[in-house]
Structure 1
Amino acid sequence: ALRQEMAASESEQQRPPLVMVVDDSVTVRKVTTRLLERNGMNVLTAKDGVDAIAQLQEHRPDILLLDIEMPRMDGFEVATLVRHDERLGNLPIIMITSRTGEKHRERALGIGVNQYLGKPYQETELLEAIQSLVGQHE
């Protein structure tokens, strides 16, 4: 049985990771989408938290890239909703924000965000964070 499971997980890894980018800035969404697609990932984008939650009803991305400051529903609220959702509870979340204060970082990690990156992010740092988290939640 183990051999079959190995084969199944190998074929799953062939599938490019699906990343959801949630940011109210069109520029950030474009730049991040381009970076991820260039690195062989598929990308969904949402313009704010409300949009993201709506899309998460239909799609199950492998990882969520989340801005904090957005109209209608901020990143903390999105992360909290995801963590309390049975279907999405273990979805890896990377918060990318210009709010680099310790208070925000602690709040994010308290909610259960996996990684907290400052803006502007380093491309290699973001890609490494995605790789390490997408590999984990099998």
Structure 2
Amino acid sequence: MAADDDQDILRLIAFRLERSGYRVVIAHDGEEALNAVREHVPALAVLDVRMPKMDGYEVTRAIRADEATRDIPVILLTARVQDADVQRGFEAGADDYVRKPFSPQELRSRVQAILGRR
């Protein structure tokens, strides 16, 4: 599952993960992302931090608060590079944090590493 309000980034994420053999459900804002997580219960969620309706931190906290979804790994994506922002992501329950701009290969490797541990 991938969510980002930037269409180009969302297409890039989906394309790279699909080429690696993953089925990707996409969402364009935080509310849509949370609904998709609840409906599909994906193996992993890649969430942009800055999205309309709900930000990535809020979506992550909601995922962690729901017994049906609390074990879904979450990778947060953001252009915000302050240590406090990274800490906030981990405090919300994120498993990993990728700074934009990111290498598609790096994202794929992080997804594979997280899913390989489960």
TM-score strictly above 0.5:
yes
Question: Which structure exhibits the higher relative contact order, with contacts defined as CA atoms closer than 8 Å and separated by 6 or more residues?
Answer: 2
Partner of 1:28: 9
Query: TM-score, with normalisation over the residues of structure 2?
Result: 0.95
The answer for unaligned runs of 5 or more in structure 1 is 1-19
Q: Does 1:127 align with 2:108?
A: yes
Partner of 1:74: 55
Q: Does 1:93 align with 2:67?
A: no
| Bigger mean CA deviation after superposition, 32-41 or 74-83 | 32-41
Rg comparison, structure with higher value: 1
What is the CA–CA distance in structure 1 between the aligned matches of 2:6 and 2:33, rounded to whole Å?
14
**RMSD, aligned CA:** 1.0
| 8 A Cα contact 2:38 2:69, kept in partner | no
- Offset at 1:27? 0.9
Query: TM-score, with normalisation over the residues of structure 1?
Result: 0.82
- Offset at 1:124? 2.0
Correspondences of 1:11-90 after superposition (within 5 Å) = 20-90=1-71
Q: Percent of aligned pairs with the same residue?
A: 34
Partner of 2:93: 112
Instruction: For residues 48-89 of structure 1, give each alpha carbon's deviation from its aligned partner in whole angstroms, at most 9, with x where no partner exists.
Output: 110011122210111000101111110110000001110111
Give the ranges of 4+ consecutive aligned residues of structure 1 lying more than 2 Å apart after TM superposition.
none
How many pairs were matched up?
Answer: 118
What is the CA–CA distance in structure 2 between the aligned matches of 1:107 and 1:98, rounded to whole Å?
14
The answer for unaligned runs of 5 or more in structure 2 is none
- Offset at 1:122? 1.4
